[in-house]
Chain A
Amino acid sequence: MNAIDPTLTGKNAVKLISGNHACALGAIAAGCRFFAGYPITPSSEIAERLARSLPEVDGVFVQMEDEIASIAAVIGASMGGVKAMTATSGPGFSLKQENIGYAAGAEIPCVIVNVMRGGPSTGMPTRPSQADIMQARWGSHGDYPIIVLTPASVSEIYSETIRAFDLAEQCRTPVVLLYDQVIAQLSETVALDGAGHASATRKWASGPRADYKPYDGGSDAIPAMAKPGDGYRTHTTGLTHGEDGFPTQNPEAVTRNLSRLFSKLERHRDLIDSSEALHCDDADVVIVAIGISARAATRAVEQCRAQGARVGLFRPITFWPFPEMQLRQATANARAVLVPEMNTGQLRLVVERVLAGMPVEGIHLFSGEAIAPSDIAARATALARGA
């Protein structure tokens, strides 16, 4: 079987594929040409797919000696100008954090897939969870911004993998693709259309070497990167650095660079933000959910509506930076918000902060099972009726 089956990505081709398979296909479509990984359930299928398909497109796959080496090799490849990705799950995501911080600080584009399984520690390798929401945002030490995308279906894993690469390249940042074990290993009939995708490219340094500053954000706060071999001979470091790229602890220079780093994502929210509101306009109760919980909520909304309860669903697709304005709009007419999630309250915490004053209730399941639509529907209906 050919790893890059054109029938999978052709227009109107409906095929049955898994979420992890869709991720690998999306990566290839986005122009990913380097993958380094380490085996871990339930994400290994991504590595196995790319081990076959990358050599077919003159790309490189390498299985490294550990999780840390994998993210390090990915950042190294991206420093060389090649679009690069790694994939892992909970324990491996923890191990990669220091180097994710390096990529954020040194502004090296890369994509990190984290398939969420039950935790903490080794946890439940084959069971789903949604408990890495906060880690994806705050996992590495120090202050840094990062983009985190949370697809909810196999076809969305495909499109969001492509978007993850585009955002990483455009904004010079690591992007985390965060989805749960259920949709990772779920197979769905999908019609993928990525054949004509014009993938985004990094802003590369051009012009005379003497005028070039590696961390000058220019007009859009995104510095142009020097490609090794193009003659700029720059320095990249995890130390705080000035516009020239060299280490500095000068308070003004440190403040200036870190401020730009944060403004970089804030200024491109139009590019980054993505969310979906379903029946929110007249909703008394808005459910906020991601991943498989959002799929359950979709069914729950239909069940509630069938019984006359005005319930809607707000689904962040870009999770970080969190779509705060969009959530406020979606809940403008709501009396209460319900947050079903497979953890003890991470998304609820965010929603409570964004919607200060709004009654927010959670359904928190951390047994390794997905939340049932009927459980969400029952609670949402009760809330809609004022219970």
Chain B
Amino acid sequence: MNTRIELRLGGTGGQGLILSAKILADALAAGGQRVAQSQTYEPTSRGGYCNADLVISDTEVDFPITTALDHLVLLDRLAIKPSWPLLKPGALVIADTRLCPELPVGDYRRYHLPLSRTALQLGSERVTNIVALGALVALSGICDRKRIEQAVRAETPRGFLDLNMDALKAGYSVAAAPVAAVAS
């Protein structure tokens, strides 16, 4: 069977999870990977559990929905319950310290990172999704840094370009000095 990498950005509606997933998918597609990006969301436009998933392969993706996660980013505690059972042994888990303060135990590479706090320090909590994207790419190594920068640039309206590029960079920085999550 072909190589297959699955990842999820889990949180709530309005956090920009789908945008981050699409940016990452664009970056991977530009690098020649085959990608399927799906999401689950509630009928409300804002709030409620939401996840944005990617299935990545070097050939055509057969089943485009996640079944076993290699990487998981948690931006809200709501996302733990539906996502935790899908984790592969040894999977990468990145959780926000504020929005997802406690994590279940398990044999995973777990990182508790101040993603939303970093975004707030940059001036807007709304770029938490981009900080998370930076951290995810840094810790997982699934995508070349140049390509993710290009993809963020391509998807960002001009007025927010500096903020988003700073957020991506900050994501890399928080990942470089990680604080391992404490099992609760």
List residues of chain A with CB under 8 Å of any chain B CB: 14-16, 41, 125-127, 153, 182-183, 185-189, 292, 295-296, 298-299, 302-303, 306, 370, 372-374
B173 proximal to A (CB < 8 A): no
Q: How large is the interface on B (under 10, 10 to 19, 20 to 34, 35 or more residues)?
A: 20 to 34
CB-contact partner of B37 in A187, A306, A370, A372, under 8 A: A187
9 contacts across the A-B interface (CB closer than 8 A): A16-B29, A16-B35, A16-B37, A187-B37, A187-B38, A188-B36, A189-B29, A189-B35, A292-B64
Given contacts A14-B29, A125-B43, contact A372 B35 (CB under 8 A): no
Bound Cα distance from A383 to B124, whole angstroms: 56
CB-contact partner of A41 in B33, B43, B62, under 8 A: B43
Given contacts A16-B22, A182-B38, A186-B37, contact A296 B43 (CB under 8 A): no
Let me know if B22 and A187 touch, CB within 8 A. yes
B163 proximal to A (CB < 8 A): no
In B24-42, which residues have CB < 8 Å from any A CB?
25-26, 29, 32-42
B103 proximal to A (CB < 8 A): no
Task: Report which residue of B34, B42, B62 has the largest number of chain A beta carbons within 10 angstroms of its beta carbon.
Answer: B62
Bound Cα distance from A374 to B62, whole angstroms: 13
Bound Cα distance from A182 to B66, whole angstroms: 12
B65 proximal to A (CB < 8 A): yes
* Contacts between the two chains (Cβ within 8 Å), count: 65
- Other than the given A182-B65, A188-B64, A298-B62, 16 more pairs (CB < 8 A) read A16-B37, A125-B43, A153-B64, A186-B37, A187-B25, A188-B34, A188-B35, A189-B25, A189-B33, A189-B35, A189-B36, A295-B63, A296-B65, A299-B62, A306-B1, A373-B67
Please give me the residue from chain A that is nearest to B65 by CB atom.
A370
Bound Cα distance from A153 to B64, whole angstroms: 9
**Closest CB in chain B relative to A90 CB, distance in Å:** 13
Bound Cα distance from A185 to B50, whole angstroms: 14
Let me know if A186 and B43 touch, CB within 8 A. no
Query: Which residues of A lie under 8 Å from residue B67 when comparing CB positions?
Result: 372-374
**Closest CB in chain B relative to A147 CB, distance in Å:** 26
Query: Which residues of A lie under 8 Å from residue B43 when comparing CB positions?
Result: 41, 125-126
**Closest CB in chain B relative to A269 CB, distance in Å:** 29
Given contacts A14-B29, A16-B29, A373-B67, contact A186 B36 (CB under 8 A): yes
Let me know if A15 and B65 touch, CB within 8 A. no
Let me know if B65 and A292 touch, CB within 8 A. yes
Query: Which residues of A lie under 8 Å from residue B34 when comparing CB positions?
Result: 188-189
Let me know if A187 and B36 touch, CB within 8 A. yes
Query: Which residues of B lie under 8 Å from residue A299 when comparing CB positions?
Result: 62-63
Given contacts A299-B62, A299-B63, A374-B67, contact A185 B38 (CB under 8 A): yes
**Closest CB in chain A relative to B9 CB, distance in Å:** 14
B61 proximal to A (CB < 8 A): yes
